[in-house]
């Protein structure tokens, strides 16, 4: 059992590891634009707030309950929730933002925040932080600045988590292998080959495009600004060769095993035979562990480890699991800020949410929920604080504009590699060319 004081110190340690790298980024202060919903007319006037998020069914259920609880506490405010899968969420937000119809409160990702700020679509929270309307007194400063872009603060971290490898310990135990934390990629491949040879289950690392960031950080070529960080496509050949070799040697899944972005459809827990499942996966951050465990079949033991790379300490990093941001289009900014304050700081919200979006950033709340959460959720906190935090490097700056488009292109490219339509060299050239074009366009 981790003591209360130690838990608070661990949150502060996480903040120190995050450092000030997240203070970088560009973007202009959004203009105030009038547009959706009924305007605030008085403290007791009826207000309807729209709140959108992506995630799994567990998150949806908990968030809806927290919304309902807010209405019970604040009878004049109704919170209408909208829940989407990741891939659908951003297309919905793009459509709504183009028509100045974004929800009042939106779940925001590090990979998109710079883009939305640059397009004047998010409300600067700085005045509300300075006035105390948004209480940040229990949030370590280095976590608070995670939402800074330029001179403003456009998002409050919903939690802190880490990217990780999820795997079925029942399978690894059955063949007598151990997934070591901070395992190198070469050691991982040897384990993966043994598991496939003895069980038929394969690994899934690449198809969701998550692995590129970790691989590139380990190789010292992660994208820091809106340009490709290397001079030629040759630097990316080894990345795509992983998939070419993994499929040829049989230890990596093929694209037909992919079933979608939803946790419940993840091949680690979805499927009926070794041929249609995987024994490990990359699918989001450590806060997804509980949802995967709930979706698991009887007999599975889903747990976490670090992502294998050539240098795990260079590739490991802590990140905001996601942000809560407020639309620049809202006509109810004070009410939206009050609801955001409830999500971050209130016992009432967090005894429902229980850290599903990551380790709470309010140190008192993190302490409050610890003894109320499941062993799996306690496992996440221990993994973040004791395994990754001491063995990590600072997070990269927020993804530059164009990154989401490049990631979409990467998903298409790796699918072609997985089906044998591209060689590693062809894939590397396509990725490099597309990235060069996308960033050139974003810089205009």
Identify the domain containing residue 379 by its residue range. 47-159+318-384
Residues 131 and 171 placed together within one structural domain of the fold: no
CA 232 and chain centroid, separation:
29
Predicted local confidence at residue 263, as pLDDT:
83
Residue 122: half-sphere exposure toward Cβ, Cα within 13 Å:
31
Domain membership of residue 2 (yes or no) is no
Predicted local confidence at residue 33, as pLDDT:
30
Report the predicted TM-score, pTM, of the whole model to 2 decimal places. 0.77
Domain membership of residue 25 (yes or no) is no
Task: Flag whether pLDDT at 34 surpasses 80.
Answer: no
Domain membership of residue 18 (yes or no) is no
Out of 358, 384, 410, a domain closes at 384
User: Tens of pLDDT along 248-285?
Assistant: 999 999 998 876 667 888 999 999 999 999 999 998 88
Residues 172 and 293 placed together within one structural domain of the fold: yes
Domain membership of residue 90 (yes or no) is yes
Planar angle of CA 14, 342, 60, nearest 5 degrees = 85
Residues 243 and 105 placed together within one structural domain of the fold: no
Residues 199 and 324 placed together within one structural domain of the fold: no
Task: Flag whether pLDDT at 297 surpasses 90.
Answer: yes
Domain membership of residue 20 (yes or no) is no
Total count of domains within the chain: 2
User: Tens of pLDDT along 300-338?
Assistant: 999 999 999 999 999 999 889 899 999 999 999 999 999
Residues 294 and 425 placed together within one structural domain of the fold: yes
Domain membership of residue 39 (yes or no) is no
Domain membership of residue 427 (yes or no) is yes
Residues 150 and 169 placed together within one structural domain of the fold: no
Task: Flag whether pLDDT at 35 surpasses 50.
Answer: no
Domain membership of residue 155 (yes or no) is yes
Residues 108 and 216 placed together within one structural domain of the fold: no
- Please say whether the beta carbons of 164 and 306 come within 8 A: yes
Residues 285 and 172 placed together within one structural domain of the fold: yes
Residues 139 and 76 placed together within one structural domain of the fold: yes
Residues 309 and 326 placed together within one structural domain of the fold: no
Residues 182 and 283 placed together within one structural domain of the fold: yes
Residues 295 and 361 placed together within one structural domain of the fold: no
Sheet holding 47-54: strands in order across? 77-84, 47-54, 105-108, 318-326, 156-162
Per the DSSP assignment, residues forming a β-bridge with 53 are 83
Rounded Cα distance, 13 and 183, in Å: 23
CATH number of the domain within which 245 lies: 3.40.190.10
Closest C-alpha among 160, 191, 120, 226 to residue 438: 226
User: Tens of pLDDT along 360-386?
Assistant: 999 899 889 988 988 888 898 889 888
> Does residue 291 or residue 422 have the better pLDDT?
422
User: Tens of pLDDT along 135-166?
Assistant: 999 998 878 888 998 899 999 999 988 999 99
Planar angle of CA 183, 187, 188, nearest 5 degrees = 75
Predicted local confidence at residue 8, as pLDDT:
55
């Amino acid at each position: 059992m981790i003591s209360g004081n130690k838990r608070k110190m661990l949150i502060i340690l996480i903040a120190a590891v995050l450092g000030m790298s997240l203070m970088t980024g560009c973007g202009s202060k959004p203009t105030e634009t009038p547009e959706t919903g009924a305007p605030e007319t008085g403290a007791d006037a009826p207000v309807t707030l729209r709140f959108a998020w992506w995630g799994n069914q567990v998150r949806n259920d908990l968030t809806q309950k927290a919304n309902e609880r807010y209405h019970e506490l604040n009878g004049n405010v109704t919170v209408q929730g909208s829940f989407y899968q990741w891939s659908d969420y951003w297309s919905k937000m793009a459509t709504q933002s183009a028509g100045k119809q974004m929800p009042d409160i939106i779940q925001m990702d590090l990979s998109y925040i710079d883009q939305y700020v640059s397009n004047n679509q998010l409300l600067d929270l700085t005045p509300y932080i300075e006035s105390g309307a948004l209480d940040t007194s229990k949030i370590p400063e280095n976590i608070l600045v995670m939402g800074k872009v330029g001179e403003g603060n456009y998002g409050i971290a919903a939690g802190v988590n880490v990217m990780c490898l999820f795997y079925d310990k029942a399978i690894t135990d059955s063949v007598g292998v151990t997934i070591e934390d901070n395992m190198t990629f070469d050691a991982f491949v040897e384990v993966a080959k043994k598991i496939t040879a003895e069980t038929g289950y394969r690994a899934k690392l690449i198809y969701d495009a998550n692995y590129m960031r970790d691989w590139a950080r380990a190789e010292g070529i992660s994208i820091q600004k809106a340009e490709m960080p290397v001079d030629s496509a040759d630097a990316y050949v080894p990345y795509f060769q992983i998939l070419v070799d993994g499929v040829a040697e049989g230890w990596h899944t093929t694209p037909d095993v992919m079933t979608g972005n939803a946790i419940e459809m993840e091949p680690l827990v979805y499927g009926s035979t070794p041929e249609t499942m995987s024994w490990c996966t990359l699918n989001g951050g450590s806060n997804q562990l509980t949802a995967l465990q709930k979706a698991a079949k009887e007999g599975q033991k889903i747990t976490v480890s670090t992502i294998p790379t050539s240098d795990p300490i260079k590739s490991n990093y802590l990140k905001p699991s996601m942000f809560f941001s407020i639309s620049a289009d809202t006509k109810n900014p004070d009410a939206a800020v009050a609801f955001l304050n409830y999500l971050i700081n209130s016992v009432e919200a967090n005894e429902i949410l229980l850290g599903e979006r990551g380790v709470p950033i309010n140190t008192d709340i993190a302490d409050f929920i610890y003894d109320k959460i499941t062993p799996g959720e306690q496992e996440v906190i221990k993994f973040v604080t004791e395994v990754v935090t001491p063995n990590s490097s600072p997070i990269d700056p927020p993804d530059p504009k164009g990154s989401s488009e490049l990631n979409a292109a990467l998903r298409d490219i790796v699918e072609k590699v997985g089906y044998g339509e591209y060689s590693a060299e062809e894939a590397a050239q396509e990725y490099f060319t597309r990235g060069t074009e996308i960033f050139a366009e974003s810089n205009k």
